[in-house]
C-alpha cells in the first residue's frame, strides 16, 4: 500500500462520502475509518465499500488517549483526515461539554498521537483538519469570509471547532507537524442526519409535520453539495500547500425561507401533492439563541491555486438529494427511531 490514511468520523455524513471517494479512487491506499458510532454515525452509509480490500473499520472514541495511541502504533498512519466531531449547533447549545470533549480534546489527542508517531521522520506526513466557516462568526448584508478573516465564533459548536483549528496550527508551529485546514460552508446531500435543516424538512414534509423555521427565516447560508466538498478535500490533501488554510464554498447563498419555499414546491411535485400543500406546514418558531445571520465563503484561493469549482448546480444537487431521501425511506425511518424522538421532543416542544 502506498499510503495508510486514518479517516476519523467516516461513518457520519461527510465522512462516509470521504471514505467512499478515497477507497474507490485510490485502491493502493489503505483507508482506516475510525468512528465512535454516536447517534450521527451509521455503518449503513458505507455498505458499498464494506468488503473492499483497502478498507478497514475501527470502532473507537478519539477522546480515549490509550485507544488512540494503540491505533496509531497498530497502523503507522502517514496521514490523517480528521472529520470526527459533534456537528449540530442546536445540540451544542443544550450539551456543550460533549462538543468540548470530542471537538477539542479529541483533536488534541490525535495531534499528540501523530506527534509521537512521526517524531523521527516528518517526511510525507500530513494532518488534514476538516473545519467549518462558522469559526469566522456572522457576516452582515455584504462581504465574504476569506482565509484571513478573524475568528469570531458565536456558538459552543463553532467555538469548539475554532479551538481545534488553533490547536492544529499550534502543533504545526511548535512541533512542525505538517497540516492543512479547510473551512467549508453548509453541506447538503444524501446521508445527512435529519436534525439539519434540509433532511429534517424533507422528513417532516413526508410525514405532514410542521416545518419549524427559526426566527423570521431571513438567515443566509452558502450551500455546497457534499460530494463537491469531499472532492475539494481530496484535491487539497494531494496538492494543497502545506500549513495553509483553504476556504471551500458553493458561491450559492440562500435565505432560509427562500430555500424552504423552493424545497416545498419540489416536494409537492415529487409527492404528487396539490401545489401549496407543503408550504402550509411552514411554522415560525422561537429563534436559535445566538443565531448567526449570514455565512458566505470566498473560495477564490482554492479556485485560483488548485482550479477547484463545484461540479453541480444547486437545483441539480437539491433534486438529487430529495430523490435520495425519497428512495431511502428505510434509512430515514431507522435513524429517526429511538433517541431521535427524545431529541425532537426536547428541541421542538
- Residue with Cβ nearer ligand NAD (168 or 211): 168
Mention every residue, 6+ apart, whose C-beta is less than 8 A from residue 146: 247, 298, 300, 301
Contact with ligand NAD (CB under 6 A) among 38, 149, 247, 256: 38
Q: Is 185 in the site for ligand DAU (CB under 6 A)?
A: yes
Q: Is 15 in the site for ligand NAD (CB under 6 A)?
A: yes
The CB-nearest residue to ligand NAD is 12
Residues 187-206 that bind ligand NAD (CB under 6 A): 187, 193
Place of cell 460530494: 227
Catalytic residue among 61, 86, 134, 195: 134
Q: Is 38 in the site for ligand DAU (CB under 6 A)?
A: no
- Residue with Cβ nearer ligand DAU (200 or 332): 200
Which range in 1-9, 52-60, 61-69, 84-92 contacts ligand DAU by CB under 6 A?
84-92
Is-catalytic flag, 246?
no
- Residue spans of beta strands (DSSP E) within 50-133: 55-59, 79-82, 126-132
| In contact, 185 and 222? CB cutoff 8 Å | yes
H/E stretch holding 182 reads: strand 179-184
Q: Is 193 in the site for ligand DAU (CB under 6 A)?
A: no
Q: Is 256 in the site for ligand DAU (CB under 6 A)?
A: yes
Q: How far is the CB of 248 from ligand DAU (least distance, A)?
A: 10
Q: Is 99 in the site for ligand DAU (CB under 6 A)?
A: no
- C-alpha span between 337 and 124 (Å, rounded): 44
CA 186 to chain centre: 8
Give the three-class secondary structure for 67.
helix
CA 27 to chain centre: 24
Mention every residue, 6+ apart, whose C-beta is less than 8 A from residue 191: 13, 16, 17, 42, 45, 226, 331
Cell numbers placing 197: 435543516
Cell numbers placing 21: 471517494
| In contact, 14 and 83? CB cutoff 8 Å | yes
Q: Is 204 in the site for ligand DAU (CB under 6 A)?
A: no
The total of other beta-carbon atoms located within 10 Å of residue 25's CB is: 10
- Residue with Cβ nearer ligand NAD (9 or 137): 9
- Residue with Cβ nearer ligand DAU (78 or 195): 195
Q: Is 250 in the site for ligand NAD (CB under 6 A)?
A: no
Q: How far is the CB of 278 from ligand NAD (least distance, A)?
A: 23
Give the residues across from 100 on adjacent strands: none
Is-catalytic flag, 134?
yes
Contact letters for ligand NAD, residues 114-153 (x by CB under 6 A): ----------------x-x---------------------
Angle at CA of residue 190, ends 266 and 57, nearest 5°:
175
Is-catalytic flag, 244?
no
| In contact, 82 and 130? CB cutoff 8 Å | yes
Which residues are the active-site residues? 133-134, 157
| Interface residue list for ligand NAD (CB under 6 A) | 8-9, 11-15, 35-38, 40-41, 61-63, 83-87, 102, 106, 130, 132, 161, 184, 186-187, 193
| Interface residue list for ligand DAU (CB under 6 A) | 87-89, 132-134, 185-186, 196-197, 200, 212-214, 219, 221, 256, 288, 295
Amino acid at each position: 500500500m502506498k499510503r495508510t490514511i486514518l479517516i476519523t468520523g467516516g461513518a457520519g455524513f461527510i465522512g462516509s462520502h470521504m471514505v467512499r471517494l478515497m477507497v474507490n479512487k485510490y485502491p493502493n491506499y489503505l483507508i482506516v475509518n475510525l468512528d465512535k458510532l454516536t447517534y450521527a454515525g451509521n455503518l449503513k452509509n458505507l455498505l458499498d465499500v464494506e468488503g473492499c480490500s483497502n478498507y478497514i473499520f475501527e470502532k473507537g472514541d478519539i477522546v480515549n488517549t490509550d485507544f488512540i495511541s494503540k491505533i496509531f502504533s497498530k497502523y503507522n498512519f502517514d496521514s490523517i483526515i480528521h472529520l470526527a466531531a459533534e456537528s449540530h449547533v442546536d445540540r451544542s447549545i443544550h450539551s456543550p461539554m460533549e462538543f468540548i470533549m470530542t471537538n477539542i480534546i479529541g483533536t488534541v489527542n490525535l495531534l499528540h498521537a501523530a506527534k509521537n508517531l512521526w517524531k523521527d521522520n516528518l517526511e510525507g506526513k500530513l494532518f488534514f483538519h476538516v473545519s467549518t466557516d462558522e469559526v469566522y462568526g456572522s457576516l452582515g448584508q455584504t462581504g465574504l469570509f476569506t482565509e484571513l478573516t478573524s475568528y469570531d465564533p458565536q456558538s459552543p459548536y463553532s467555538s469548539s471547532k475554532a479551538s481545534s483549528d488553533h490547536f492544529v496550527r499550534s502543533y504545526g508551529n511548535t512541533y512542525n507537524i505538517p497540516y492543512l485546514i479547510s473551512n467549508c460552508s453548509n453541506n447538503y446531500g444524501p446521508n445527512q442526519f435529519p436534525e439539519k435543516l434540509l433532511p429534517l424538512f424533507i422528513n417532516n414534509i413526508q410525514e405532514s409535520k410542521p416545518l419549524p423555521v427559526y426566527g423570521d427565516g431571513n438567515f443566509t447560508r452558502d450551500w455546497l453539495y457534499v460530494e463537491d466538498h469531499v472532492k475539494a478535500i481530496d484535491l487539497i490533501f494531494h496538492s494543497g500547500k502545506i500549513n495553509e488554510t483553504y476556504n471551500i464554498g458553493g458561491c450559492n447563498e440562500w435565505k432560509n425561507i427562500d430555500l424552504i419555499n423552493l424545497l416545498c414546491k419540489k416536494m409537492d411535485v415529487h409527492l404528487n401533492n396539490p401545489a401549496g400543500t407543503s408550504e402550509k406546514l411552514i411554522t415560525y418558531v422561537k429563534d436559535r439563541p445566538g443565531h448567526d445571520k449570514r455565512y458566505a465563503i470566498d473560495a477564490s484561493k482554492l479556485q485560483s491555486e488548485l482550479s477547484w469549482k463545484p461540479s453541480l448546480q444547486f437545483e441539480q444537487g437539491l433534486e438529487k438529494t430529495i430523490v435520495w431521501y425519497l428512495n431511502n425511506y428505510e434509512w430515514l425511518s431507522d435513524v429517526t427511531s429511538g433517541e431521535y424522538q427524545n431529541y425532537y421532543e426536547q428541541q421542538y416542544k
